[in-house]
């Protein structure tokens, strides 16, 4: 079995892109190498959050947000971004 040290599964950008809120029910967002499942958030409905789309690495975009990365605390980390 392949392990990555933390037992989190790894996903490619293409796999992440399928969880953009349009193609599958799951809505995922990557931040600093980790992928968060934000499917339960009413603020990420259909994968859209204030001009930002899920299914991508939004690390750089967080600098435009009026909040810090603490918003991710209540969401489960589902994997690592390759
Ligand atoms: C112009 C850009 C953005 C605006 C205006 C915005 C606005 C907001 C607001 C008003 C909230 C709820 C209140 C709060 O927690 O402060 C929120 C929550 C959140 N934001 Fe943003 N945001 C922006 C960009 C981003 C980006 C780029 C990300 C991802 C890197 C992000 C991730 C989140 C998450 C995960 C939550 C928590 C949702 C929840 O608890 O249901 N936001 N955002």
Local mean pLDDT, 10-residue blocks, the chain (82 residues): 70 98 96 98 98 98 98 97 98
pLDDT attached to residue 5? 53
CB distance 13 to 57 below 8 Å: yes
pLDDT attached to residue 13? 98
pLDDT attached to residue 23? 87
- Asked whether 48 lines ligand 1 (CB < 6 A), one says no
pLDDT attached to residue 7? 87
Which conformational region is residue 50 in: left (phi greater than 0), alpha (psi within -120 to 50 degrees), or beta? left
CA 3 / ligand 1 centre spacing (Å)? 32
Domains delineated in the chain:
10-81 (3.10.120.10)
pLDDT attached to residue 12? 98
DSSP classification of residue 63: G
What pTM was estimated for this model as a whole?
0.93
DSSP classification of residue 47: G
């Amino acid at each position: 079995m392949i392990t990555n040290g933390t037992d989190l599964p790894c996903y490619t950008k293409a796999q992440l892109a399928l969880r953009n809120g349009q193609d599958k029910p799951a809505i995922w967002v990557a931040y600093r190498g980790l992928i968060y499942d934000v499917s339960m958030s009413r603020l990420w409905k259909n994968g859209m959050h204030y001009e930002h789309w899920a299914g991508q690495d939004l690390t750089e975009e967080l600098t435009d947000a009026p909040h810090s990365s603490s918003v991710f605390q209540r969401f489960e980390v589902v994997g690592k971004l390759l």
